[in-house]
Structure 1
Amino acid sequence: MRVIVIVIISFFSAITFASSVDLSGQVLDSESKDPIPYATLQFIDLNTGVVCDENGKFNFTGDLPQNTTIKISAVGYETILVKFDRKLSATTFYLDHSHIELEEFVVSTSGSLQKNSIVNVEKRSMDELSTIQNNDLGEAIANIPSVYNLSTGNGISKPVIRGMSGMRVVTYLNGLRIENQQWGGDHGLGISENGIGTVEIIKGPSSLLYGADALGGVLFLQEEPFANQNSIETFYRTSFESNSMKLNNAVGFKTSGKRLKFNLFANHVSAADYQLPNGSYVKNSRFQQNDIKGSLGYNYKNWVITARYNFIRNRIGIPGHTHDSIFSLESFISDQQKREKTIPAQVITNHFAIIENGFYFNNSNLKVKTGFTSNQLVEYDEKVTIPGLDLTLNNYTYNVVWDRTVAKSHHLLIGSQGMLQNITNNPKAEEMIIPDANVGDFGGYAIFQGEIKGWNYQMGGRYDQRMIKIYSNEYSITNYSFNGFNYSAGFNKSIKELTFRFNTSSGFRPPHSSEMLADGVHHGTMRYEIGSTELKSEKATQFDFSIEYSGEHLYLALNPYYNQIQNYIYISPTDTIIGGYDVYEYKQDPNAQLIGGDFSLHYHPHFAHKLHLEHNTSFIQAKRSDGQPLPLTPQTRFNTLLRYQFESEGKFIIDYVALQHLYFLDQNRVSYFETPSQGYHLLNLSASFKLNINYPIDIQLGMKNILNEEYINHLSRLKPFEIPAPGRNFYIALKFNLITKKNK
């Protein structure tokens, strides 16, 4: 009720501060004072913008909320941020030259440039992550330092951040928390990359802004912005991959007027069984995906509202699935490639909906988000008519945050988040892996941040409570309650080309019902699992330090971290066998430790202006208090990308040619039930072209795993079956663009 009252009062207060403007001006080079053609002004809170003309001039007409942020950017220049003031009607913005574009606007956290951010945030556009085409979203984000991909063939992938995944990584889509059975290793991300504009990775405990569970980090996905004001943008994209005969067709439509904005995306993906380096195929590694997503935005004076809806349905084959206690690699391999539907398979249906309201005042803003997600997971195992598993998870969420400027460079954020989750099993299904349950979350936090004499700081605290009601059967109901207080504090300082950043943060994760009440065979892992109702909440404390050098042609960054987790929940083998399966029990370690770091380099030599060398190294060592390694610890990885950027003109343009080298070291530090993994090299090649005709066409050609290397990544869930990853893969992608200017 309090939230409703706040929203009503804020709404009427907001509309009294009208800010209908005719904002015009010019973007100039700070040194030469020459115009910067086609610079972009992005109005962050409206999720739209305008593009300057060939003389660097721009004009925006409409309602622009007071105190909103304007991002001004151009290729080859440093991005700047400006707070809008209603007194501003005509102005000139000046941009400094930058040979290496490194600083991005971080939407999901403090709303500042990464250089000034206290939290270590990695932000990438999907275009940047797609320099080498990827199989899916999970594979794309694995190019970011300390981010890996836990996969089951081509169709199922989960993000791994600093060695943690599943329930220890929280995923947000446009500010909506996504719940999709993360507890299962064979349950994928369930989000389509079509229409996604940017990806942000927040590494380490992030409970302060995002609530319980985020011990490993947060994956924050943001859809593409609306079209620039008074324009229509449409595209059709199609791609083909030779290895799995994968076809991907997508369409998109975007339009934006003075107040009303609309986006619509649709996508269809179909892949056959993938091919191994020896020419054979992995049975039932095929999958299909259909999705549609739409966004509707409207702004009136100082009120901005956006409604979004996503529908995604996947049918995914489950390679390596067996009920046999004794198996061989040959039972999972075929000499024929097939695409037809078969079993075992997962049929997953997702609905994601969110309504975002923003109210803007002279010195503050209030944002209210309410959302709903529905995930239905149906597994067909041995029968095509009766599902082996049919589980539905519905989740209702809210997120309210008030951002108040208390002084010129200081902000106070007060917020509350919560969710009500319902998990139900279809009684007609053959199995019930986890029982029916209701989960309720409530959390409140306060954060103070600002800048004092060049020192940026942030500090805050948060309290969360989780209540779990488990329906073991019709007559047995068990209640559990968990709570935790978390904090975060940090600072950064820039001295000429150097930036120092230090942050300490805590987080907690209550045990999941799958860890407390498991008692049966999990065929995806080939083991009999037994849970424990005595499990306590995990509590994490991380220390994160980074030092960055940003010169004219060289960028270097070193980021070591230490994460300590009390009551770490893990699964351990026993000496018992039930029904031919080894028995594993969920246990807790008093003090698990994850120690690691990243090293990043971006070199753009002055003597070779078109050449870019990018490299990152990721290392992690994870162990229990007795010194034994934690399971599924990623291999040390070296990721190097060499890109030559052309500056050609004409109807046919060569955009870039890129060569990527990935080197994974041996992983010999393994847990009790793991086997070591051998290191391997991968070479990938990509080239991008543009055809400037009436309807411009983007063309991308490439080859992955050029040397046809046979390898198994340590995080592959097919590793216990000794099933290698895909072999050599050729791909081609075409994108047809149409941009039509509307009448004013």
Structure 2
Amino acid sequence: MKKILVILFIGLNLYSYGQNKITGTITDINNEPLTGVEVYVEKFKKGTATDENGYFELSNIPNSTLKVTAHYMGYKTQVKTVNFTKPEIELNFVLKEFSYQIDEIVISTPFNKLQSENAIKVVSIKLNEIENSGSTTLTEAISSIPGVDMIAKGTGVAKPVIRGLSATNVLMLNNGVKMENFQFSENHPFIVDEFGVDHIEVIKGPASLLYGSDAVGGVINIIKEKPALDGKITGDFNTKYHTNTDGFSLNAGVKGNSNQVNWGIRTGYKNHADYEDGNGDYIPNTRFQEKSLKANIGLRKSFGVFNMYYDFNRPQLGMSVGNVKNFEKGRGIDFWYQDLTSHLISSRNTLFLSDYKVDVNLAYQLNNRKLQTDENTPAFEMVDMDLNTFSYEVKTHFPSTEKTEYVFGLQGSSQTNRNHEAPNHVIPDADVNDISVFGLLQHTFLEKLKTQVGLRYDYRSISSEEETNKEAIDNDYGNISGSLGATYPINDNFLLRANLASAYRTPNIAELTQNGYHGTRFEVGNPDLDTQRSYEADLSFHYHTKQLMIDVSGFYNRINDYIYIAPTSESLDNGDTVYQYSQTDSKLYGGEFIVNYTPIEWLNINTTYSYLIGKEDSGNYLPYIPQNKVRFDVKLQKEKIGKLYNSYFKIGGLLAEDQNNPSIYETETDGYFLLNAGIGTQLKIGDEMINVSIQANNLLNETYIDHLSTLKDLNYNNIGRNIVATIKIPFTIK
């Protein structure tokens, strides 16, 4: 494979490609020029902004079919396809005013279509929504999306749940790279933060066709911030303070872009003490801290785009367990904590061969996991293991027509888990190798009916070393995934979307091999586990006008051989219960309902409702099914008040219903109501806009326990009132 790529790269340099230019103007429907519109070519990682006359220019563009996006706040995003028949193309846009963005380019699917043209529904949350959420972690911010929730052990250890599925049923991507860091437990969070993020895309439902195993429940793709505009060097400094945890976060970054080279660097730090509940009681050892560093460099040539990224994260996460009680509230990380280190080096490249585009993506991840326990309890020794993953992907976008686009790809990875001197091997030394091929076709019938169909085959081998209490395994799995979907706009305001998908998940090393303590719980694997198979049907209706948007989504997910862990009737000599992995046929069904209404320019009302049922075929309910929830926000906003810009005040809440359908291993959970509020504005200093905001979550200081809190068994409540102050200072060097 490596030789083929080298030969291909050298061959490309033998060709001569034209240096093309795109120029144009962007106006509103009254033919008035729009200043500051972002014009961006996603595949070429190149962008600019319109001047005071609405004029823009993009030079040194390759000979290829490319999509050009025009994005402007308060207007509907437009995408146009450019196919160069001459060196200079004129491309003009007329943008229609809208109260909110209803259509965005989707990065997580191969065709980079607008959401309205995508058969697979993808929901996005932008950086400013994350920053203004008052959340302590990225996962907490994502959980505001209808159908998305989180399993949490306090404020620092949180894991996403998509329509009732979590752990290795949900896949998280860091800029397109599948994250690998011991995802087999609800207490192992993804090692990632919100620093340097542009937006996050969430696929709700099976996505194994695109990403392979672990995408049964859905995908969360963290999209990095875009390069600086041509000829610019810009940066920003951000700080937050949380009253409840006496916590703070800092991050700063700078990025630049010349004619052919773009680069960036960003660093961040978080530090939180133990949180307090609504009664004013602190929850022991929920403290955490995290350091991060991100850097990137990119090169744009007429024959291709080449980008290198480096991500470093070092979280230290306190673990609140039953025997950790005898210390005061604080922030020192001393014992019973996870010490995690993640290095991710990735290379994401696109080669332009006339009408063909070839994506060549490589990545290497090194994850070290240490669990430092209480030195006075020798039964729970420290864990220390490395997970190394090399992954590769080659996707070919074939010449497209106005109606048809198709892509074929090859993906694979090689993974090793190795234990160090620590005596507690949660999982043994093991190797996992994957290889897959897939194809995806999109075709438009009858001018409006956009269809997508795809097929994928995966092969996985898992082998492990024999240990004193663990037998060696050597298992092979072969799986086929498929998807068929369509979107149909009945008119300019009404869109229908439907999708049928089959996905799978192979058992992971922990589920096959565990036989010992994992944290404070004794867990036993099952080497005879079969592949978990999912069949899901999705149907959604989308209606929008300039002032009103209504979105209704429903789904039914049939899962054969659903893998779960549960307590058994067995116990150890010390009385601890033995937990073991098992399988059962199950189903999940439900949906989401969204209404967004802007009756007048300065008022926005948003309401969402998420409903979910998860049951085994036996009639028992599945574990970790979130409470049905209603969220609402009323937002007052004004573009300019004196010297203040884009000012807003919002008040809203979260109403969680009673969870009266727990699994046989859980207890029922009472509902609760949280009142939230926020205020923010921008101050113009010179040419820069300083963002200032204050968010108050759980304003009434409600005492409650969420059904997905893993601290529920210890009778520890969720976090009480938390007021978050945020300042973001952008700056321009050049």
TM-score with structure 1 length normalisation?
A: 0.94
The Cα offsets for residues 487-525 of structure 1, whole Å up to 9 and x where unpaired, read as: 11111100111111110011111111211222223334x
Native 8 Å contact 1:168 1:509 kept in 2: yes
Deviation at 1:131, TM superposition (A): 3.0
CA distance in structure 2 between the aligned counterparts of 1:13 and 1:351, rounded to whole angstroms: 31
DSSP-derived class of the 1:701 partner: strand
Give CA deviations for 1:166-209 in whole Å, capped at 9, x if unaligned: 11111111111110100022111110110011101111111111
Task: Tell whether the 8 Å contact from 1:273 to 1:285 is kept in structure 2 after alignment.
Answer: yes
Letter in 1 for 2:344: F
Decide which of 630, 640, 652 is 1:648's aligned counterpart: 640
| 1:362-405 CA-partner distances (Å, limit 9, x unpaired) | 32210010001111010110239996111211100001110113
1:351 Cα shift?
0.4
Match of 1:436 in 2: 429
Aligned to 1:709: 702
| Whole-angstrom CA distance in 1 between matches of 2:234 and 2:390 | 33
Aligned to 2:38: 40
Letter in 1 for 2:215: A
1:395-410 matched pairs, under 5 angstroms = 395-410=389-404
* Distance in 2, Cα, partners of 1:76 & 1:118: 25
Shift of 1:75: 2.2
Change (3 A) 1:288 1:256: same
Match of 1:543 among 525, 537, 540: 537
Which residue number corresponds to residue 83 of structure 1? Answer: 81
- Percent identity over the alignment? 28
Residue 587 of structure 1 pairs with residue 582 of structure 2: yes
Structure 1 counterpart of 2:22: 23
1:284, 1:342 within 8 Å by CA — same for their partners in 2?
Answer: no
Which of 39, 64, 71 is matched with 1:73 structurally? Answer: 71
TM-score after normalising by structure 2: 0.95
Q: 1:691 to 1:99 in 2, by over 3 A?
A: closer
Which whole-Å CA distance do the structure 1 matches of 2:710 and 2:16 have between them?
56
CA distance in 2, matches of 1:585, 1:26: 63
1:507 is aligned to 2:503: yes
Query: Which of 39, 60, 71 is equivalent to 2:58?
Result: 60
Rate the CA distance shift 1:172–1:11 in 2: closer, same or farther, 3 A.
farther
User: Mean alpha-carbon deviation: is it higher for 392-401 or for 4-13?
Assistant: 4-13
The one of 476, 489, 498 equivalent to 1:494 is 489
Q: Tell me the secondary structure at the aligned position of residue 604 of structure 1.
A: strand
The question of 1:363 aligning with 2:362 is answered no
Code of the residue aligned with 1:347 in structure 2: it is D
Match for 1:488: what amino acid?
S
Task: Give how far 1:10 is off.
Answer: 5.7
Distance 1:4 1:562 in 2: 45
Distance in 2, Cα, partners of 1:609 & 1:494: 27
Q: 2:672 aligns with which of 675, 680, 683?
A: 680
Q: 1:321, CA displacement in angstroms?
A: 4.6
Query: What does residue 325 of structure 1 align with?
Result: none
CA contact (8 A) 2:322 2:714 kept: no
**Alpha-carbon distance between aligned partners in 1 of 2:239 and 2:181, rounded to the nearest angstrom:** 28
Contact 1:132/1:685, CA 8 A, preserved across alignment: no
For 2:499 and 2:436, the matched residues in 1 are separated by: 22
**1:95–1:10: structure 2 CA closer, same or farther, 3 Å change rule?**
farther
Contact 1:156 1:189 in 2 (8 A): no
- Closer, same or farther: CA 172–298 of 1 in aligned 2, 3 Å: same
1:105 match: 105
Residue 72 of structure 1 contacts residue 79 of structure 1 at CA under 8 Å; is this kept in 2?
Answer: yes
Counterpart in 1 of 2:480?
485
> Which whole-Å CA distance do the structure 2 matches of 1:246 and 1:473 have between them?
43
Going from structure 1 to structure 2, the CA distance change for 1:162 and 1:304 (only over 3 Å counts) comes to same
Q: CA deviation at 1:100?
A: 2.9
Specify the SS of the correspondent of 1:733: strand
Q: Displacement, 1:406?
A: 4.5
TM-fit CA distance, 1:212 = 1.3
Opposite residue 263 of structure 1, the aligned amino acid is G
Task: Give yes or no for contact 2:590–2:613 (8 Å, CA) kept in 1.
Answer: yes
**Residue 399 of structure 2: SS of its match in structure 1?**
strand
State the shift of 1:320 in Å.
2.4
How far off its partner does 1:648 sit? Answer: 1.1
Q: 1:659 aligns with which of 648, 651, 654?
A: 651
What is the CA distance between 1:11 and its match in structure 2? 5.8
Q: Distance in 2 between matches of 1:653 and 1:539?
A: 51
Shift, 1:284, TM fit:
1.2
**AA aligned opposite 1:486:** S
Tell me if structure 2 keeps the 8 A contact 1:15–1:301.
Answer: no
Q: C-alpha distance in 2, partners of 1:633/1:229?
A: 47
User: Which residue in 2 is equivalent to 1:182?
Assistant: 183
Q: CA deviation at 1:620?
A: 0.8
Look up the match of 1:328.
Answer: none
Which residue pairs with 2:266 in the alignment? Answer: 265
For structure 2, list consecutive stretches of 5 or more residues without a partner in the other structure. none
Local SS of the residue matching 2:640: coil
Taking structure 1 as reference, are residues 8 and 641 closer, same or farther at Cα in structure 2, changes over 3 Å only? farther
Q: Pick closer, same or farther for the CA change 1:7–1:27 going to 2, 3 Å.
A: farther
2:487–2:498 Cα contact (<8 Å) kept: yes
Amino acid at match of 2:436: G
The aligned counterpart of 1:635 is 627
The answer to which of 79-88 and 501-510 deviates more is 79-88
Q: Which position in structure 1 is the counterpart of 2:722?
A: 729
Q: Distance in 1 between matches of 2:504 and 2:539?
A: 21
Name the CA distance, whole Å, in 2 between partners of 1:14 and 1:538: 46
Secondary structure of residue in 2 paired with 1:681: strand
Q: 1:639–1:617: structure 2 CA closer, same or farther, 3 Å change rule?
A: same
Paired AA for residue 274 in structure 1? Y
- AA at the equivalent of 1:18: Y
RMSD: 1.9
Q: How many residues align?
A: 724
| Deviation by residue 1:128-150 (Cα, 9 ceiling, x = unmatched) | 23332211100010011100011
Which AA in structure 1 matches 2:597? Y
Moved more, 377-386 or 543-552: 377-386
Partner of residue 470 from structure 1, selected from 443, 458, 464: 464
On the 8 A contact 2:610/2:630 being kept in 1, the answer is yes
Q: 1:423 to 1:413 in 2, by over 3 A?
A: same
Write the distance in 2 (CA, Å) between the matches of 1:316 and 1:540.
Answer: 33
Report how far residue 438 of structure 1 moved.
Answer: 0.2
Aligned to 1:229: 230
Provide, for residues 541-570 of structure 1, a one-character-per-residue CA deviation record: whole Å limited to 9, x for no partner.
100111111122111111100001111112
One-letter identity of the residue aligned with 2:197: I
Does the 8 A contact of 1:530 with 1:586 survive in 2?
yes
> Which residue is 2:732 aligned to?
739
Q: Cα distance, 1:217 vs. partner?
A: 0.5
Partner Cα distance (1:281, 1:46) in 2:
50
Whole-angstrom CA distance in 2 between matches of 1:476 and 1:682:
49
Name the amino acid aligned to 1:36: L
Aligned to 2:133: 132
- Distance in structure 2 (CA, Å) of the matches to 1:703 and 1:89: 50
Letter in 2 for 1:485: I
